[in-house]
Amino acid sequence: MTQPQSDALVVFGVTGDLAFKQIFPALQAMVRHRHLSVPVLGVARSGYNLEQLRERARQSVEQHGKHDPDAFQKLCGLLRFVGGDYEDPTTYERLKEALAGSQRPLYYLAIPPSLFTTVVEGLARVGAATNARVVVEKPFGRDLGSAQSLNATLHQFFAEPAIFRIDHYLGKEPVQNLLYYRFANSFLEPIWNRNYVERVQITMAETFGVQGRGKFYEEAGAIRDVVQNHLLEVASLLAMEAPSARGHEAVRDEKTQAFRSMLPLKPSDVVRGQFRGYRNEEGVAPDSNVETFAAVRLRIDSWRWAGVPFYIRAGKCLPVTATEVLVELKRPPVALFPDCAAAPPNRFRFRLSPHVVLSLGARAKLPGERLQGEDVELIACHDQKDEMGPYERLLGDAMRGDQMLFARQDSVEEAWRVVEPVLGNATPLHQYDSGTWGPAQADRLISDGGWFNPAQDWACG
């Protein structure tokens, strides 16, 4: 069903880091692609004025995007600024006046979650929440209880179809490609189950550390920051059943069902690590027990996946920056050729970043008289330079009212249910050196064969 288009975009926290690094470049791209022509109102506490906001937007697109003079000039023409404290009721009165009769605004809360209640209550108090939509950034709570509390607060003023929980990872082209690849091709379905799949590995590796965000990371850690959301979302795309109908709710129904099939993690399923030197970062406690690396063994109790372990790991200061999925198939029931015994099993690989790469690993006979083979990999690459960025895509979807790439309340709460037993210090913390693949204890978590480590140069061309 076609949804009404939002007729204004309001960005709370417009002078903050998220707006500077992500939102302004996305807005310029939307203007360039003729997807944005409504007023863009920035709201912030700082003593900015409109000209200062335009200058910050210019610096943003120069540093984190590609400055397009024509598109940027048009964006500047759409910008408005409302300054004021979020606790001050007059801020919302000025905002309503600046909206100048807008009937369907979209509010983007690029602010700390602790301010969400203050802002939505302020909007409702002046009647500015009626017929509006709201976008909230992850994390959606810190645990199951806080996620439920946040949802209850939002639902006081916005219906679920008007709430857009943005996880930029879901807007990435490679992640969408994973869903498309699964259900656009018939050859996967006969083997995409416990009868043929031995195990699944999902790795999100980064060569860098916390990059000056020590205070934030102290409140999050790897499990809250990327496992509970990004990587469990990828697991749900791999594990979900085909939607029974067309439309975004049918897709989200099946993803939620996949989350419901995930068993809660136990301490024996988790290895946490911290790179040496993390405690010297600004904003980090000298005795911090926050993990910068996490490896987990996930079990999915469904007819399709019972008995197939999903191994997930994420970490900072690892040897490469790459996100990759490896699906290992079971070996043939009889080893006809002796050289195959020590060879890797057949496998599908999906590189999600920094390039989109799909591959099938198999065995092929070497030339000659002997029945001896080698590992080969059939690779398909997609490296489009000007593809739509995740924030551009997600902002456009939110303004159109399309929720398919946004997290739904029930799936968010199910994901917290999975990780809640191992949050905090429920498991030991192990130190590891920068440039390694995390603590050695993570190698003992996985069954026969060990982790498959992505290579930095596995890319197109």
Beta bridge partners of 85: none
- For residues 421 and 183, what is the distance between their CA atoms, to the nearest angstrom? 33
- For residues 374 and 34, what is the distance between their CA atoms, to the nearest angstrom? 51
Q: How many residues does the chain have?
A: 461
Burial class (CB in 10 A: 0-12, 13-18, 19+), 169: buried
- For residues 430 and 432, what is the distance between their CA atoms, to the nearest angstrom? 7
**DSSP notation for 228-245:** IIIIHHHHHHHHPPPPSS
Catalytic residue among 33, 67, 230, 248: 230
Beta-carbon contacts of residue 333 (< 8 Å; ≥ 6 apart):
none
Tell me the torsion sign for CA atoms 429, 431, 434, 436: negative
**Runs of H (alpha helix) within 389-436:** 390-400, 409-419
230 is catalytic: yes
- Spatial CA neighbour of 246 closest among 1, 21, 61: 1
**DSSP notation for 278-311:** GGGSTT--TT----SEEEEEEEB-STTTTT-EEE
Catalytic positions: 230
